[in-house]
Amino acid sequence: MKEKRSLYQCLEAKVKKDRIRCAKRHPLSKMSGDGTIPVLRLARGEPLELGVCQDCNAYDEMGGPVAPEDRGWVHPPGFKTTKRGPGRPKKMKVI
């Protein structure tokens, strides 16, 4: 099975204020008027494997996949990481 393309890996994904956009101007969302998605999706650690990215000719991969436990910085109460490194807490709290 082919690995899905994610905005976490694309060099064309840009964050501006509270929105994520494509530098090549591909619409990441049909629901927003400007084709952007909220940065909150990134903060929550959502997969960001958007349909528009899967067949994109401009997709420019900058590295391997980001593990789910390494995504985002806002997590629901009780969220537990699967890998623990030095100084990493058992639970992450919503700020």
Task: Look up the pTM and report it.
Answer: 0.73
- pLDDT value of position 70: 87
- Residue ranges making up the domain that contains 62: 13-67
**Residues written for the chain:** 95
Residue 77 lies in a domain: no
Residue 82 lies in a domain: no
Residue by residue, pLDDT tens for the chain (95 residues) are 678 999 999 999 999 999 999 999 999 999 999 999 999 999 999 999 999 999 999 998 988 888 888 888 886 666 665 554 444 445 545 55
- Number of structural domains the chain divides into: 1
Residue 85 lies in a domain: no
* Beta-sheet strand order (sheet of 37-38): 13-16, 19-22, 37-38
